[in-house]
Structure 1
Amino acid sequence: MAHRNILVCSFFIIFLSIFSSYDGLQEDPLDNYLDEEAPGYDSRVYPSHYSTAHEDGEYFKNLVKLRSEVYSLQKVSKVGGKSTPVRTVNVKDFGADGEDDTEKFEKAWKEACSSSEGAHVVVPRYTYRLKPITFQGPCKSKITLQVNGVIEASDDLSDYKEDGRHWLVFDRVQNLLVEGGGTIDGNGKIWWQNSCKVDKTLPCKDAPTAITFYECRNLVVKNLKIQNAQKMHVSFEKSKNVQVSNLAVTSPEGSPNTDGIHVTGTQNIQITDSVIGTGDDCISIVSGSKNVQASDITCGPGHGISIGSLGVHNSEDYVSGVTVNGAKFSGTTNGVRIKTWQGGSGSARNIKFLNIEMDNVTNPIIIDQNYCDQDEPCEEQRSAVQVKNVVYKNIKGTVASEVAIKFDCSKTYPCEGILMKDVNLEREGAGTAIALCNNVKLAEMGAVSPNCP
């Protein structure tokens, strides 16, 4: 019995040692964040870069599961050597004719969603007009929505009286593939001209997000053009296991609040090979989001890729496991930005910005823990969202202003574990670029220019 107790105690001590070492690895950006050598995202290589981080390992386990789902989202699935046909539902068969097609799309969706054999909803080449519509789930089987034509939003503001915040909504749909090479057009001009950001004399009102995926799981969105959103172009909300690729997201530079891709409360999302140019953030990542991967992104015009804002109205917000690997910013207001309000709590941690090119960007690298997007000055408060373990590696290019790097961190909760490696940002035209750094615990490796004083 004594011998058994000794063995148990020895095992327990070894377990504690391993656990403590593992926990230290999670907290130390030098151990966890400096082994990325791949120039872009490669699913065969990239998981090895996360071998020490539990949460990122979870991402790739889910990603493997997601890809198996993706491969099975086909017109024909083969089980035991036998082919099982998928039901094809064409919106034209329900009378869609380009006038008001809302009810016809609803009927087509209901038929597809109720099919137990899987369904393929086809939107043929044509221009269709939709009022706000919800594609309701859960459905009985997998669904592919193939958009070959153009889907336009109604420009009659009275159509949005019941819900002024959404246009197309996919609600709780599992195993969904949306593709086809077509266009989704939010007809946003009428909303932009009525925005208080455009006309200061007008009251501030909300506007619809063009496409919302709410509580969807095992979702693929690819090969689409999404343009002229009323507000945000596409939003992933409280969803899990998402792949986004080959999107062209566009609206005029002056269009207000037209974020390209918005991620909120969503876990395990991969965004690749997309071109985004809007009047706001190309990609925005806010509270509740975890394991967000973005690669091969072209951004401009717009406000760059932003984490936040977080902590508004003293809220408790968390974002973790964000990697941007391979991006080009051209003429944007910001490059890669983390923004938090004073008075909030929570954290933004384990974030990597890798292999990025800046072309005439006003604020290429910025952490702002004193963000204040309102007319009156914000009250100074002691609490803050903690910004921790952020890596900037292989970031090069030109700056349109004097300040290339700005770390404006909290006095009470300084930015911790910030690492810069191989960063070179030069002033466009005459002058020298500088870095402004307040309340930041920073390490540098390789050649870094400009440096924090």
Structure 2
Amino acid sequence: MQALTIDSSSGVKVSGLTIQNSQQMNFIIARSDSVRVSKVMVSSPGDSPNTDGIHITGSTNVVLQDCKIGTGDDCVSIVNASSNIKMKRIYCGPGHGISIGSLGNNNSTGIVTKVVLDTALLRETTNGLRIKTYQGGSGYVQDVRFTNVEMQDVSNPILIDQFYCDNPTSCQNQTSAVKISQIMYRNITGTTKSEKAIKFACSDTVPCSHIVLNNVNLEGKDGQVEAYCNSAEGFGYGVIHPSADCLYSHDDKGFDHSHTSGPVLVTEEAEIGHDEL
């Protein structure tokens, strides 16, 4: 049972709420528009199953800011038919990180666009910034920006997983996939528990495209770290550690090179402005 659900609503503000030990998902925002959540604290044990902190589905124009989330599942999860989701100053841990998905289960369509995370601390989470889709799905994830994120002893800090499988039996190999494109990681720093600090496991038939890394520095606690790519196209600039040379690049269409700071995704205009917060 969920602790709090906002469903089929608009113009909602939630502030200063504490949710503790929900039986299932703590806070759901469903089929709603213009929802602003601030200073919400979620507390569930790190081993509690299916206790997502804030779960967003079928919703648009959602702002989360100054939220502290500890849980046994995703701190924030964003799933199908959600767009213009803005997150600012999010603390996550314990938990499974900040996730888009899962999408595409049972050959379904998943669409998530215009997601911005600006300023977050993830501490001892099992994933960091994750996009997860099942094989066989359709739809797309695009215009996503993760910026100014600090990781502390995080497993899988940067992860795109298009082979996600949470079924009791193994998932069948399928060729269709949710298309993932125009994803930017900027100013991502900290420590990782995983040797593969950056992992882009993308579909062979529907590759990830326009993946951009800008000033990413992830250090392993116990030795070397590396990046892994499968069917992922993009590039990095600034300091990139571990090196993401496994990204391949065809062209830079979709990027604006007029900025002196380097390429900027079309999501730039979706970035949270001070006037909004």
* Partner Cα distance (1:212, 1:251) in 2: 17
**Which structure carries more relative contact order (alpha carbon 8 Å, separation 6+)?**
2
SS at match of 2:3: strand
- 1:362 and 2:155 are equivalent in the alignment: yes
**Residue 60 (structure 2) aligns with:** 267
Q: One-letter code of the match for 1:321?
A: K
Q: One-letter code of the match for 1:360?
A: D
C-alpha RMSD over aligned residues? 0.7
Q: 1:371 aligns with which of 157, 164, 184?
A: 164
* Partner Cα distance (1:393, 1:403) in 2: 18
- What does the per-residue CA deviation read over 1:130-162, in whole Å, with 9 as the maximum and x for residues that have no partner? xxxxxxxxxxxxxxxxxxxxxxxxxxxxxxxxx
**Residue 257 (structure 2) aligns with:** none
Q: CA deviation at 1:403?
A: 1.2
**Residue 284 (structure 1) aligns with:** 77
Q: 2:140 aligns with which of 332, 343, 347?
A: 347
Superposed counterparts of 1:201-212, under 5 Å: 208-212=1-5
Q: One-letter code of the match for 2:112?
A: V
- 1:399 and 2:192 are equivalent in the alignment: yes
SS at match of 2:198: strand
4+ long deviations beyond 2 Å: none
Relative to the length of structure 2, the TM-score reads: 0.87
- 1:415 and 2:208 are equivalent in the alignment: yes
**Residue 439 (structure 1) aligns with:** 231
SS at match of 1:411: coil
Q: CA deviation at 1:386?
A: 0.2
Q: One-letter code of the match for 1:434?
A: E
SS at match of 1:313: helix
Q: 1:388 aligns with which of 159, 176, 181?
A: 181
Superposed counterparts of 1:42-81, under 5 Å: none
**Residue 302 (structure 1) aligns with:** 95
Q: One-letter code of the match for 1:312?
A: N
Relative to the length of structure 1, the TM-score reads: 0.54
| Long gaps (5+) in structure 2 | 247-277
**Residue 327 (structure 1) aligns with:** 120
Q: One-letter code of the match for 2:195?
A: E
- Larger helix percent: 1
- Larger strand percent: 2
- 1:313 and 2:122 are equivalent in the alignment: no
Q: One-letter code of the match for 2:230?
A: N
**Residue 424 (structure 1) aligns with:** 217
* Partner Cα distance (1:279, 1:326) in 2: 22
- Higher Rg of the two aligned structures: 1
SS at match of 1:420: strand
Q: CA deviation at 1:375?
A: 2.8
* Partner Cα distance (2:43, 2:158) in 1: 23
| Long gaps (5+) in structure 1 | 1-207
Aligned length: 245
Q: One-letter code of the match for 1:433?
A: V
